[in-house]
Structure 1
Amino acid sequence: MSRARTLLLIAGAFLLIAAIGVGVLGWNARAAGDQVPKGVTVAGVDVGGLSPAEARRKLARTIGGPSERPVVVDVNGRKVELTAKEAGVAISFDGAIDRAVKRGEEGNFISRGWRELTGGEVDGNEKVTVAINGRAVTAFVDRIAKSVDKPAVDASLALAVDSVSVNDSQDGSRLENPDKLRKQIVRTLRKPRGERTFAAKIVAVKPETTTDEVWAANQTVVTVSKSGTTVRVFVRGELSKTYSVAVGSAEYPTPGGQFTVQTMQVDPPWNVPNSEWAGDLAGQTIPGGAPNNPLVARWIGFNGAVGFHGTADGGSIGSAASHGCVRMNPADVIDLYERVRIGTTVLVV
């Protein structure tokens, strides 16, 4: 055989081998074209080497099932659920699978065939699309907030003619940062295999006025019983002193209600009202201590021209005899004067 013929045969053999190799690579490239290339994951699930249908079934099993779990929120030991259906959870695998398959189209048919022939992998992960009904999640969080939201109750003074107490303040409660909880739920619903149990954080709402503050503002309270012609002094709810007094007559009754001490004066002058009963003294000012001044020793006003004062008419004590004021024995009104201050609460019943 001539040298030329030998070289020709060798070249032909190489060409045949190359053609076979290219054919093999091309066949492998085409065979892998309808599969997800090895090494590719969808939502972290390995679907490499699977057909689109096989990948869809595997994803439905490993992701679809977990995605249907409810969200559970612990609200002070009470479990509240939001189902995946209520939240409008819907997962689309098709787009992610299509993109995963297209990962295998990278490069030319020779590189693709070689990768398939040698068991090479494509490094990549495709995300699935998870649809959420945001309004449903918001409504769920709103229901939780409504179930725990409780306004604080301010302390208040509870008055009766024979008792003084304070209705205690009460803490309220509210859901801390509802928007944060809503975002947590949305995030976990978008992660089919993520944690779906949360604890709602409930915080206390403090009252504006506490029990101690009410007592501090009402250390001393004075009550007047018109029917019993009795004045009582309470200190932090405890009866401290009792006086027998005279109150307004049927014609000029002492006004009832809750008041505060407005004015206090030692040996007060008497500004005589322009009333028919005042006679010739109407409109005059009688100096303090004058014999014709009925305001003896002290004045403690709680409703304009109405107040406590001493009287020289001791015989009227225990009756309804005044023109509206509360008459007291001079020693008693002096004692009361030392027990009260401007702003002291006065209840007249």
Structure 2
Amino acid sequence: MARRLAASLEAAEQAKCRVKGPALTICIDLTQQTAWAVRDGAVVWGPTVVRTGMRGGYQTPTGTYEIFRRAKREWSVPYKVWLPYWQAFNGGIGFHETTTYIHDGSLGSHGCVNLLHADAVALWSTAGVGTTVKVFGNRPGT
């Protein structure tokens, strides 16, 4: 985990997010399974570990998106669970807290970016509707 976080702070890794300008951008590195936020070229949140979509058609899609909906507590109809600190950025895919063990590489989400409680709260305080989200890389095993 420490190696993944350290790698996310390297200039070459940061450049993969291709952030330009003063707007807040959240970067999701599927390869490292990390996330961070950048404003004016400086990291303002993270990096932190995340869990993203698993194989079997649940991969988190790469691309550039915007947060378009937020709810402190959202109900997932298909999975019948609460999604604390929900921030949607691509259809039914978004950021949310998970209460399950996040560090097991064999587990994954159904496409969402799962965060530990403190990270979900911090991201909620940092981001908002309209925040750019850049997802890049490839989750190992997917």
User: Do they superpose with TM above 0.5?
Assistant: yes
| Aligned equivalent of 1:221 | 25
CA distance in 2 between counterparts of 1:331 and 1:267 reads 15
Task: Give the deviation of 1:317 after TM superposition.
Answer: 3.4
CA distance in 2 between counterparts of 1:258 and 1:318 reads 27
Structure 1 residue 244 and structure 2 residue 49: aligned? yes
Instruction: Go from structure 1 to structure 2 and tell me whether the alpha carbon gap of 1:316 and 1:338 turns closer, same or farther (over 3 Å shift).
Output: same
**What are the ranges of 5 or more consecutive residues in structure 2 without an aligned counterpart?**
1-11, 137-142
CA distance in 2 between counterparts of 1:259 and 1:307 reads 10
CA distance in 1 between counterparts of 2:133 and 2:121 reads 17
| The one of 118, 126, 129 aligned to 1:331 | 118
Residue identity over aligned pairs, in percent, reads 26
Task: Give the deviation of 1:165 after TM superposition.
Answer: 4.3
Amino acid at match of 1:262: F
Higher helix share: 1
CA contact (8 A) 1:260 1:346 kept: yes
Deviation digits for residues 28-70 of structure 1, max 9, x if unmatched?
xxxxxxxxxxxxxxxxxxxxxxxxxxxxxxxxxxxxxxxxxxx
CA contact (8 A) 2:102 2:116 kept: no
**Larger RCO of the pair (alpha carbons < 8 Å, separation 6+):** 2
| Aligned equivalent of 2:86 | 299
User: How many aligned residue pairs are there?
Assistant: 120
CA contact (8 A) 1:229 1:318 kept: no
Structure 1 residue 322 and structure 2 residue 109: aligned? yes
**What are the ranges of 5 or more consecutive residues in structure 1 without an aligned counterpart?**
1-159, 167-213, 273-277, 279-285, 287-292
The runs of at least 4 consecutive aligned structure 1 residues that moved more than 6 Å come to none
CA distance in 2 between counterparts of 1:246 and 1:231 reads 10
Query: What is the TM-score with the length of structure 2 in the denominator?
Result: 0.76
CA contact (8 A) 1:245 1:318 kept: no
Higher strand share: 2
Query: What is the TM-score with the length of structure 1 in the denominator?
Result: 0.32
CA contact (8 A) 1:161 1:348 kept: no
Instruction: Go from structure 1 to structure 2 and tell me whether the alpha carbon gap of 1:161 and 1:326 turns closer, same or farther (over 3 Å shift).
Output: farther
